[in-house]
Structure formats: C-alpha cells, structure tokens
Amino acid sequence: MLLEILLASVLGFVIYWFVSKDKEETLPLEDGWWGPGVRPTAGEDESIRPFKVETSDEEINDLHQRIEKVRLAPPLEDSRFHYGFNSNYLRKVISYWRNGFDWRKQVEILNKYPHFKTKIEGLDIHFIHVKPPQLPSGHTPKPLLMVHGWPGSFYEFYKIIPLLTDPKNHGLSDEHVFEVICPSIPGYGFSEASSKKGCNSVATARIFYKLMLRLGFQQFYIQGGDWGALICTNMAQLVPSHVKGLHLNMALILRNFYTISLLLGRRFGGLFGYTERDMELLYPFKKVFYSLVRESGYMHIQCTKPDTVGCALNDSPVGLAAYILEKFSTWTNSEFRDLEDGGLERKFSLDDLLTGIMLYWTTGTITSSQRFYKENLGQGFMANKHETMKVYVPTGFAAFPYELVHLPEKWVKSKYPKLLSYSYMPRGGHFAAFEEPELLAQDIRKFVGLVERQ
C-alpha cells in the first residue's frame, strides 16, 4: 500500500513537471507540391469549379458482374463476427447490393449538396459547400470545416449538415447557423491522390487551410473525428489565429504521462481526476486493452504495406465491402461482434453503408486512402513533431461511450489546455456524425455558444 502511494506521488510530480515545461508554439506552415512530376513554374490555377457525381451503365454492370462471381468461404459455426465479417451475413448484404441497391438514386442524393473542386498544392481537392437556406435578420453564418476519417467520407456528414445550416426547420434554435464545408482528404473519394511520398495530416491541414482562405474565410470553426481529428488539430497548431474553435469527437494523445496512470487508476482514480464515468469506460483495463489490440490489426498492415492489401480490395467489391463494413460494426459498438449480423443495421441502413463503399469503389481510392496510415504512422507516431505540441485554441470534446479508446477530461486538457467543453455523450461510437447526428450537432452548438460568449 505504501509503495503504491509513493509511486502515485512520484508519478504526480512527473506529470506536473511534464505539463509545466511545455511552451506555446506553432507548427511551421511551409508549402508543398503533391502533383505528378516537377512543380510548374507558372502559378497554380486557383479557380473553384462545380463538380457533379456521375455514374454509367458500364460502371454499374461491371460492379454487378464482379458481385455475381464472388467466392466466399463458409464461416465457422457460432463464430458470429469474432473472426471478422461473417460470410453468411455478407451474402445478405451482397444480394441487396446486386438486386436492391439503387446507385443512381444514391448519386442523386449525393448531388443534393453543391460539390466543387479546386487545385491546391498540385492536387484536385474535392469538397461540398453548404450555405444556410435562410438566416435570421442581422445574423451571419459561422463557417465550419468538417473533416472525415477512414474508412469514411464526406457522406458521413449528410445528416448533420441540415441540423447546422437550417436548425430552425429541424426543431433547433437559430442562434447559431453554420455554413458547412466538407472536403475529401487527398486520396479519398473525389480528391486526387498524392503522387509523392509524405502527404500526411500536417500537409492535409495546410491544404484545407488554403481551401478555407480561397473560399474567403479568415476565421472559422473546425470539427473532426478519426483522421479528421488529427487534421483539425494540426490546423490549430499551424494557424491558431485563424481557428475560432476546434471541436473533436476523438483525439490522439500518446505523449502524455496521464496514460501511465491507467496502471494505478483503478485504485487511485480520484487522484488522477477520473470521474465515476471515466472509471466505467476505462476499466477493467484488461478488457479495454484486448479490445484495442483486437481492433488495430488493420492499422499494422496499413502503416507498413498498404499497397499489398490495396491490390486485393481495389479488385473485389465484395472484399472491399467486408473490409470496410466490419469497421462500421465493431467501431460502433465492440459488443456487436457477438451478433450474427454484426449489428450493422441497428444503427445504419444498407443504403447508407453501401453508398460509403461505392465512394471508394467507383473512385478506386482504397489503396491511396490506406497510404495515409503509412504517411502518418509509418515512422512511428512519436516521430511527428505535432505530437509533442499542445493546442492553444478554444476546444470542445464529445466523448462517445463506444469510441475505441475513452479519453478522460484530464487527458484531453493536457493536450488542449483551452478546453471549454467536455461532454459525456449518452450513446454512440466512432462514426459520431453518421450514427448520432443530432447528439453531435447539439454538442457543436453548445461549444460554439461558449466560444462566442467569451
């Protein structure tokens, strides 16, 4: 007992020293060129061009032919989703994909918001830009950049957008009305992939910052989860004076002595600032640890040799669907692995899920999307300078209970000292905007209200 108290005291001193020695700093903005070949001497075309999602009979027929030729191995008895995507349920998914899913209708849905493309650092960057249909007298919309992750896309935000741009017609106050910009990460969907190595989260943050400037926004709010959380964090580290507020539903916090407290927190949770809810979400630690190991196998592949598995996934729509949709099962709720259907249709419709798959399939971007892991984690995450830096912009954090790793408020505040809002969300997992748009919209609005009142 005395030894544990001594260790906790020493750890507390180390944490204090570690936190107090950090200085406020920013990442260098720099510049980049990710297009093919040598950077042209002429200036870049900065025009913003309308874009429309399209399809064809040839594209749909090719998909159907590939689906019809699928070869599946039977699952083990009573394996459910413990071995990955259960092929018995996969047969139901691909039957609907082949016979019930209407891609042309989904393309019309995708085109209900205005799409655009513009060249930045040699890449054609795709984004949707949704303005409020109406504004209260005397109000101006608040620009909000929302960034997706993997294996997601801009489509994840389609249900939250009207809650932010048209709140009054959706039963919400019109005190805060947003103008929403959702770009596609380079190499994802309709954004051109880099031709060169090194296009990481910092480069992407800089590209999206240039996008916001090109759209005429000098100050704006930013929001993200998964890679979007890291990209938005990097943007706040690059240009903090341009970021009015940063809202996250996930964060990567590795250089943090609070994480060591996991070993002692079960007994000394109060000493480390853990609430009762934190204790429920962090322990038993063995269960949380094994869950994290179980769900991170894909990451080791994509951090090292993304092109190898990419060859298989880019050639097989069924393989691609199984690989991606498995994440929408267990990342939504790890206990869904105990269900025969992975619980997929408890939170999402097959139309929405397959639309996400089609954005990878029709653009052929699964390999380039996976390379983002190697660019960011291939040399080890701790090798990145931004991981050692704090973020000094007003920050809000929504802690969804089924996120892959729970982050207590103390952990978040150690990285984001200007944390204004920390919310324990009542339900939801990794794909917050896609799964729980109303909850996320309410938390964003609450956070922005706090920022505006400062």
The residues annotated as belonging to the active site are 226, 373, 430
Three-state SS at 83: coil
**Which residue type occupies 70?**
V
Q: How do 115-120 and 123-130 pair as beta strands?
A: antiparallel
245 bridge partner residues: 221
Burial of residue 446 (CB within 10 Å: 0-12, 13-18, 19+) is: middle
51 bridge partner residues: 115
- Among 301, 293, 327, 309, residue whose Cα is nearest residue 85: 327
- Residues 51, 128: Cα–Cα separation, whole Å: 9
Burial of residue 85 (CB within 10 Å: 0-12, 13-18, 19+) is: buried
Three-state SS at 140: coil
Listing DSSP states for 6-59 in one string gives HHHHHHHHHHHHHHHH-------------SSSSPPSSPP---EEEE-----HHH
Q: How do 243-248 and 123-130 pair as beta strands?
A: unpaired
- Among 274, 411, 281, 259, residue whose Cα is nearest residue 334: 281
- Residues 276, 410: Cα–Cα separation, whole Å: 13
The secondary element (H helix, E strand) that includes residue 322 is helix 317-330
- Residues 243, 89: Cα–Cα separation, whole Å: 44
- Among 400, 402, 18, 401, residue whose Cα is nearest residue 247: 400
Count of C-beta atoms within a 10 Å radius of residue 22: 14
Query: Where in 263-403 does DSSP place strands (E)?
Result: 395-399
Three-state SS at 422: strand
- Among 30, 381, 393, 380, residue whose Cα is nearest residue 205: 30
CA angle at residue 162 from 180 to 131, to 5 degrees?
40
